[in-house]
Amino acid sequence: MCGRYSFVPSSHQIETYLRDIYLPEEITFSPHIAPTEYAWVVTSEQPYALQAMQWGLVPAWSKEFRPSGRTINARMETMFEKPSFREAARYRHCLVPADSFYEWRRQLQGQHIPYRIMPADGSLLFMAGIWEEWRRAGEAHRTFAIITVPASRQLTELHDRMPALLLTEEARSAWLRGDLSDNAWLQLLSHTLSDTYLTWYRISDRLNKPSFKDPILHEPV
């Protein structure tokens, strides 16, 4: 799964990967984005600007607006079948930028050890996402979920799932365009990562506290 991530792009990452995307004046970056918090995404509706949305997808048909940690991820294999995700999976795509994501490795003793995972070459990640707009009585809220796929071979020692990563401009543009068939989407998201693409290291267990936002979370321990 993907339950925490970081978006604190370096000046190089901004210049290289976000040069054509408008960054709002009020933008702030966070080394620790947790479920139900607001985060920045790029949508098919506005492909050249970052928008703030709440993490935890709420379907448009839901009676109440109640973002939940249970809908932060949509599994690639079932996103076209699950009522909560299927409309967004077909018609409302987004990119979720990140410099890294976090995962916990479960030890035999039951202890969970947090790790920071990122591209070995220092590139910026773009995770595939879907989004929804919930409207009632003058209220409007936008929420998103990150799509997950089976973990790459190297990452399975940490977890069996990982975010779907869109590695090229062509893949990102295709995802935002939204003009492929269901099977074509699955092929786009299920590419194989090389064994050297990602690197990771252990970090502070203060990641366990969602309110802890210090950049020290980027430092190895």
Write the CB contacts of 215 (distance below 8 Å, at least 6 apart in sequence).
8, 31
The answer to whether the Cα torsion of 140, 92, 167, 34 is positive or negative is: positive
Catalytic residue among 87, 103, 133, 139: 103
Tokens at 214, concatenated: 């210090």
- pTM, two decimal places: 0.95
Tokens at 174, concatenated: 């295709």
pLDDT digits (tens, 9 = 90+) for 35-79: 999 999 999 889 999 999 999 999 999 988 988 888 999 999 999
Average pLDDT over residues 144-160: 93
Kindly list the structural domains of the chain, giving each domain's residue range(s) and its CATH number in brackets, ordered by start.
4-218 (3.90.1680.10)
Count of beta carbons in the 10 Å neighbourhood of residue 30: 17
Catalytic residue among 2, 77, 157, 219: 2
Residues facing 119 on adjacent strands: 198
DSSP string, 99-166: SEEEEEEEPTTS-EEEEEEEETT-PPEEEEEEEEEEEETTEEEEEEEEEEEEPPGGGGGT-SEEE-B-
Would you say 94 and 129 are in contact if contact means Cβ atoms under 8 Å apart? yes
Write the CB contacts of 15 (distance below 8 Å, at least 6 apart in sequence).
none
Tokens at 216, concatenated: 């020290």
Instruction: Report which of 5, 50, 55 is spatially closest to residue 28, judged by C-alpha positions.
Output: 50
Higher per-residue confidence, 184 vs 93: 93
14 SS3 class? helix
Would you say 58 and 71 are in contact if contact means Cβ atoms under 8 Å apart? yes
Active site (annotated) includes residue 103: yes
Mean per-residue pLDDT of the chain? 93
CA dihedral 208, 212, 213, 214 (to 10 degrees): -100
Backbone angles phi, psi at 88, to 5 degrees: -65, -35
pLDDT digits (tens, 9 = 90+) for 85-143: 999 999 999 999 999 999 999 876 778 999 999 999 999 999 999 999 999 888 899 99
Would you say 141 and 54 are in contact if contact means Cβ atoms under 8 Å apart? yes
